[in-house]
Amino acid sequence: MTKILITAALLTASFGAAHAQSASYAIDPTHTFASFEIVHFGTSTIRGRFDKKEGSVTIDRAAKTGKAEITIDMASINTGVAPFDGHLKSADLFDVAKFPTAKFVGDKFSFSGDKVTEVAGTLTLMGKTQPVTLKATNFSCYVNPMLKREVCGGDFETTLQRSAFGITYALPMAAPDSVRMLVQVEAVKQ
Amino acid sequence: MKSIARHGVAAPPARSARPCRLGLAALAAPWVFAGAAPAVAQPQTYQLDPAHSWVHFEVLHFGTSTIRGRIGPVKGSVRLEPSVGRGEVSLAVPTASVSTGIGFFDARLRQADLLASDEHPEAYFVATRFSFEGERVVSVRGEFTWRGASQPLTLNALRYACRSDTTAAKPVQVCGGDFEGELLRSDFGATFGLPFVANRVRLLVQVEGRR
C-alpha cells in the first residue's frame, strides 16, 4: 500500500530510428517532490510537501519535445504539524476522501539548447483542470555513479491561485490565494 | 559534601531570579502609568510557536535538483526591544526530527557523519546582533552550533510582521517572519557525499513568536 509505484513510460515501439534521441525516464521518488509555500497571516511562510507520487517523463532533446505525467497522492500531505495535515485533508481544504489524487500533465516543453526551461500543461486538483506552466530554475542531466544510468532532473516552480481550484477556505486573511509550488524532479533513463 | 556542592551550584540561579522578578514588575509599569508618563519601551519576550517555527534546508543534488528537508519544531524564545535596536534569541533545533519525506534518507542523515543526532541531539542558534528597520527585524547575526562546532551565521529576514491574534481567549501578540541563511556544511565537519551533494546549504527559517 505504501509502495511507491514507478511507472515506466510508454513509447519505444512507435518511435523508431527517426527519434533516436527520444528517451523515457521513470521518476526517482527519492528525488521528486511537490512542495508548497503559503504565507500565514502575512507573517511567515508555511511549507508542506506531498510524500507519495508516481510518474514518468519522456524527453526528446533533439526534437525538443517531451511529456511528463505526475500523479500525487493528496493524503500524503506533510507539514510536520499533524493536526494541520488533518485539516488540510478535510472537506474544508483538499477533501482527500473525495479527491484522493492530483495530476499534472505537461506536454509543452521549452528548451534552451538541450536544457528544459519550461513545461506547460494542466493540473487537475479537486476535480478541476487548469493550465499550469512550470518554470525551471535548475535543469541538468548526469550519469549517476551508483545507478550507472543517465538521470535528468531539475527544480521547477509556479504560483497557483488556489481559488481557481475551489479552495477558498480562510481567504484572504489567514492565507492568501497565491500558493507557490516548488517541484523537485529527477528521473532515471529507462 | 556532594549535597552542599549541589546546593552551592543551585544557589546562583535562585539569586539571579530576583532581577527577573524586578524585570517583570518593570514590564508592568508602563501599563500602570500609561496615562501619567510616555511609555518607556521595554523588551518583550516571545515564545516560539511550535506550529509555525521550523527550519527548512535546501541542498543541491548532483548540480541538478534541490533536496529539501525540514527540522523542528524549533524551540526557544526571542527578546525584542526595537526602540533601542536590541534583540536576543536563543534557539534549539532537534536534529533527529529531520524529515525529507524519505524514511531511509532521514535515518542516513541522522548518522554520525551528517547530523550526528545521537552525539549532538540539538543544534543551536544564539544571537544578540539584531538590525531593525523601525519595528521590523531585518537581520540577525549570531552563532550557529551544530555537531559541536560553532560558526558565525547571519539570518536575513525575507518577510517580517507582527499582529494581534484575536482567536485566542486572551489576545496574543505575535511577531514572526521568514529568515534566510547559508552555511557550508564542511565548516561543521559534515562532509559526507561531497561534492555530489553540495557543500552550500540554504536555510529557510520560519518563525512565529507569541507573548
Q: What is the phi-psi region of residue A126: left when phi exceeds 0, alpha when psi lies from -120 to 50, beta otherwise?
A: left
Q: Is B64 on the interface with A (CB under 8 A)?
A: yes
- Look-up: residue for cell 560558526? B151
CA B184 – CA A128 distance, rounded (Å): 43
Q: How many other C-beta atoms lie within 10 A of the C-beta of residue A86?
A: 10
- Please state the ipTM of this predicted complex: 0.87
Q: What residues contact residue B120 under an 8 Å CB cut-off, 6+ apart?
A: B95, B146, B147, B148
Contact residues on chain A for B99, CB-CB shorter than 8 A: 78, 80
* Cell numbers given for A154: 531539475
| A138 to B161: CB separation less than 8 angstroms, yes or no | no
Q: Do B65 and A184 touch (CB under 8 A)?
A: yes
Nearest to B177 by CA among A78, A171, A39: A39
Average pLDDT, chain A: 89
Rounded mean pLDDT of B177-190? 97
Question: Do residue B176 and residue A43 have CB atoms under 8 angstroms apart?
Answer: yes
- In which band, very low, low, confident or very high, does the pLDDT at B14 lie, cut at 50, 70 and 90? very low
CATH of domain B41-210: 2.40.128.110
Domains of chain A, CATH where assigned = 21-189 (2.40.128.110)
Chain B partners within 8 Å of A119 (Cβ)? none
Q: What is the pTM of this model?
A: 0.83
Model confidence at A175: pLDDT above 70: yes
Collapsed DSSP state (helix, strand, coil) of residue A155: strand
B180: β partners: B156, B204
Instruction: Output DSSP code: residue B197.
Output: B
How large a percentage of chain B has pLDDT more than 70?
81
Section B110-136 average pLDDT: 97
